[in-house]
Amino acid sequence: MSMDQVLDTSQQIDITKDKVWIQEQIDRFVAWEIFIRMARGEEMLPMTPLDLCDRIGVNKEYVYDLIQQIKQRKKIDAK
């Protein structure tokens, strides 16, 4: 491989640190974690919300906020 073919990544932006990109990918990240747990036979083992948030790269309050959003939608739909 010649030096002309080498890709310089020192100036590239790490998309995994981009909050907008993470928000767009959260569903995929959660699905991946569920798949991995099922593949390992761990689907019945508990996972803390903090552990899930850490694995998918979101704020530690994400699961709590998501549950609150679902409750609010449920209330609106019930009316």
Model pLDDT, residue 35: 94
Cα dihedral 29, 32, 37, 40, rounded to 10, equals: -140
Distance between CA atoms of 66 and 49, rounded to whole angstroms? 11
Report the pLDDT averaged over residues 35-43: 94
Instruction: Answer yes or no: are the C-beta atoms of 60 and 50 closer than 8 Å.
Output: yes
Structure pTM?
0.61
Tokens coding 15: 């998309």
pLDDT of residue 39: 96
| Alpha helical stretches, state H, the chain | 19-39, 49-56, 62-78
Kindly list the domain boundaries of the chain, sorted by start residue.
14-78
Q: What is the pLDDT of residue 36?
A: 94
Collapsed DSSP state (helix, strand, coil) of residue 10: coil
Q: List pLDDT tens digits, range 5-25.
A: 666 667 778 887 888 888 889
Identify the pLDDT of residue 15.
Answer: 80
Residue 77, pLDDT score? 80
